[in-house]
Amino acid sequence: MVARSHSSISSSIPSAFCDECTLSNICITHGVDSITKARLKTIILHPTPFQAGDYLYRIGNRLKALYIVKSGFIKVYVSTTYGEEQILGFHLPGELVGLDALGTNAHRCDAVALDTSRVCELPATKLSEICRLSPKIRRQLNRLMGRQLSHVQEMLLLLGKKSAEGRVAAFLLNMSARFKERGFPEYEFHLNMSRHDIANYLGLAVETVSRVFSRFQEEGLLKVRARNVQICDDVRLRQLVSGTSTKD
Amino acid sequence: MVARSHSSISSSIPSAFCDECTLSNICITHGVDSITKARLKTIILHPTPFQAGDYLYRIGNRLKALYIVKSGFIKVYVSTTYGEEQILGFHLPGELVGLDALGTNAHRCDAVALDTSRVCELPATKLSEICRLSPKIRRQLNRLMGRQLSHVQEMLLLLGKKSAEGRVAAFLLNMSARFKERGFPEYEFHLNMSRHDIANYLGLAVETVSRVFSRFQEEGLLKVRARNVQICDDVRLRQLVSGTSTKD
DNA sequence: CGCTTCCTTGAGTGCTTTCAACGAGCGTGG
DNA sequence: CCACGCTCGTTGAAAGCACTCAAGGAAGCG
């Protein structure tokens, strides 16, 4: 049976200042010297938490700030004029949100909280100052953009080459790894997003996701109860991801 | 009939120095003051041209340099251990290649020339110096990363939500726009890549791409002769791109 | 308790893939 | 010069995977 005390990732509340923050090891400020940290402290804001459904920013908004997720869960997506949406990612605590606007100074995505979410805010007006502060920070920003690029590229591989089963398996393993990084159970977690969101993210129909979940459960790879997932056979899941599927 | 003098984009040869380079208006150095440009001149290298099939870098290589394409055509792709490949993009003159390594200092893609290609080389060791040179350059680098991110995100939408026809139409219009930016005919151009590459890039089977090309031609949207393409009805192509297709 | 949203499951359709064959273009070598 | 083999691109026929449509169950909320 799947435990039910899981929304835990939403209730982890790092303290307000970097040097005491429980996320510091995966945060942008990781490895920065204490002087710089002190100056960061004067720059970084801590706005009131976003509630589920609140937008951090919308498409077209001028870049106001970059956000580091402290707790909660952020969904980022693009939508076309015609109303189609494509979810680009789900952001967990420790991750930086808003980089999409660095190029044009205007956001090209929507970012919405799926859960009560606390964030640290790096005001855009202070960004160049932050970058001047230390080469370390510059490198960190580059690293984070690089990581984001890398993630999106993985997604391209997923959407371009993998079957429905491969995509869902990859998604679950990815979530698992990220929960683990954050000190949460690796093989038993709560998905904050709806099946609809998962389907959209993976380029599938809702029904297909549902069916794959069911099939995985039948085959003993998972135990699924609503949004609670327990991974029972990560080895086979990994095989499904790498397993060549369709085309090419 | 499609003209045949097209590989022209490979034979445009900007002069070696930025201030005389015919690409300067779309290059990373655009808008930089002359002092900085002079210093860039001392940093930027001009290696001997890459031949078709030559690799600029391979997955895992340490970041040696960023490359600005001066002429030719670069294909960038990831490949999994199992041998699957996913093409991430095709780079035309004026575009920056190698950003994927900024995060980890190691490349996560392969980059190969599809044609004889000249490049400018920004040595990685000089990168931080370049960044220190001017905030303008920093911003340009950010802009370029942002643009890349933005492009990959568009691709996600394409692969996640569009039908085969929509994908091919979007691909053709994208190429068209980029040729136009570079002063080449907008509605008549040569595709340097194979159908196989196009298919891979768009997450389709080769045969599907071929069929869509044929269908488009039958319907008077295109004229296709081998790799030469003439766009006859860009309006309907645009409709095909935005036209909602499958799922969601 | 009824409403709504979310999720699941079934049946049928269809788009894309797969398998297969063929023509064209091209470089090689007899 | 032409045959040969190769890659590339096209086309046809058939199969399959994922989608659409439809219905019903479960859970949350006023």
Determine whether the distance from the CB of A163 to the nearest atom of strand D is below 7 Å. Answer: yes
Phi, psi of A118 (to 5 degrees): -100, 145
In which order are the strands placed within the sheet that holds B222-225? B188-190, B228-231, B222-225
pLDDT of amino acid B148: 87
| A20-29, A134-143, A171-180, B129-138: least confident range | A20-29
Interface of B with A in 139-198 (CB under 8 A): 142-150, 152-157, 159-161
Tokens of A108: 């090209």
CB-based contact, B200 to chain A, within 8 Å: yes
pLDDT of amino acid A80: 83
Determine whether the distance from the CB of A104 to the nearest atom of strand C is below 7 Å. Answer: no
CB contact under 8 A, B156 and A86: yes
* Strand C, nucleotides covered by protein (CB < 7 Å): 6-11, 15-20, 25
Per the listing, tokens 């900007």 go with B14
Would the pLDDT of B28 be above 70?
Answer: yes
Residues of chain B with pLDDT > 70, as a percent, come to 88
Secondary structure string (H, E, C) spanning A77-135? EEECCCCCEEEEEEECCCCEECHHHCCCCECCCEEEECCCEEEEEEEHHHHHHHHHHCH
Distance from CA of B143 to the nearest CA of A (A): 4
Tokens of B16: 């070696």
Contacts of A146 in chain B (CB under 8 A): 99-104
Q: What is the DSSP secondary structure assignment for residue B117, as one 8-state letter? A: B
Contacts of A84 in chain B (CB under 8 A): 157, 161, 244, 248
CB-based contact, B239 to chain A, within 8 Å: no
Q: Answer with the residue of higher pLDDT: A216 or B23.
A: A216
CATH no. of A162-242: 1.10.10.10
Would the pLDDT of B140 be above 70?
Answer: yes
Nucleotide with C1' nearest the A204 CA: D18
Mutation site, A108, A127, A142, interface B, largest B CB count within 10 A: A142
CA distance B63 to A99: 22
Q: Contact, B57 vs B64, CB < 8 A?
A: yes
Angle at A179 between CA A111 and CA A2, to 5 degrees: 110
| A217-221, B31-35, B104-108: least confident range | B31-35
Per the listing, tokens 């220190």 go with B132
Distance from CA of A1 to the nearest CA of B (A): 32
CB contact under 8 A, B152 and A156: yes
| Sequence ranges of the domains in chain B | 4-148, 162-242
pLDDT band at B128 (very low <50, low <70, confident <90, very high): confident
CB contact under 8 A, A146 and B203: no
Secondary structure string (H, E, C) spanning chain A? CCCCCCCHHHHCCCCCCHHHCCCCCCCCCCCCCHHHHHHHHHHCECCCCECCCCEEECCCCECCEEEEEEECCEEEEEECCCCCEEEEEEECCCCEECHHHCCCCECCCEEEECCCEEEEEEEHHHHHHHHHHCHHHHHHHHHHHHHHHHHHHHHHHHHHHCCHHHHHHHHHHHHHHHHHHCCCCCCEEECCCCHHHHHHHHCCCHHHHHHHHHHHHHCCCEEEECCEEEECCHHHHHHHHHCCCCCC
pLDDT band at B142 (very low <50, low <70, confident <90, very high): confident
CA distance A114 to A119: 13
Determine whether the distance from the CB of A227 to the nearest atom of strand C is below 7 Å. Answer: yes
Determine whether the distance from the CB of A208 to the nearest atom of strand D is below 7 Å. Answer: yes
Would the pLDDT of A84 be above 90?
Answer: no
Contacts of A138 in chain B (CB under 8 A): 128, 131, 138
DSSP per-residue codes, B79-109: E-TTS-EEEEEEE-TT-EE-GGGTTTSB--S
Per the listing, tokens 């940290």 go with A37
Would the pLDDT of A7 be above 50?
Answer: no
Would the pLDDT of A22 be above 50?
Answer: yes
CA distance A202 to B86: 16
* Side-chain half-sphere exposure of B203, counting CA atoms within 13 A: 25
pLDDT band at A77 (very low <50, low <70, confident <90, very high): very high
Per the listing, tokens 């707790």 go with A71
Contacts of B99 in chain A (CB under 8 A): 146, 149
Residues of chain B with pLDDT > 90, as a percent, come to 54
Determine whether the distance from the CB of A84 to the nearest atom of strand C is below 7 Å. Answer: no
Q: Write the CA distances from B144 to A72, A139, A182, B69, integer angstroms.
A: 30, 16, 31, 14
CA distance B137 to A115: 38
Contacts of A100 in chain B (CB under 8 A): 146, 149-150, 153
pLDDT band at B1 (very low <50, low <70, confident <90, very high): very low
Per the listing, tokens 């690029």 go with A149
Residue ranges with strand state E in B125-231: 188-190, 222-225, 228-231
Domain A4-148 has CATH 2.60.120.10: yes
CA distance A68 to A91: 9
Name residue A112's beta-bridge partners.
A55, A75
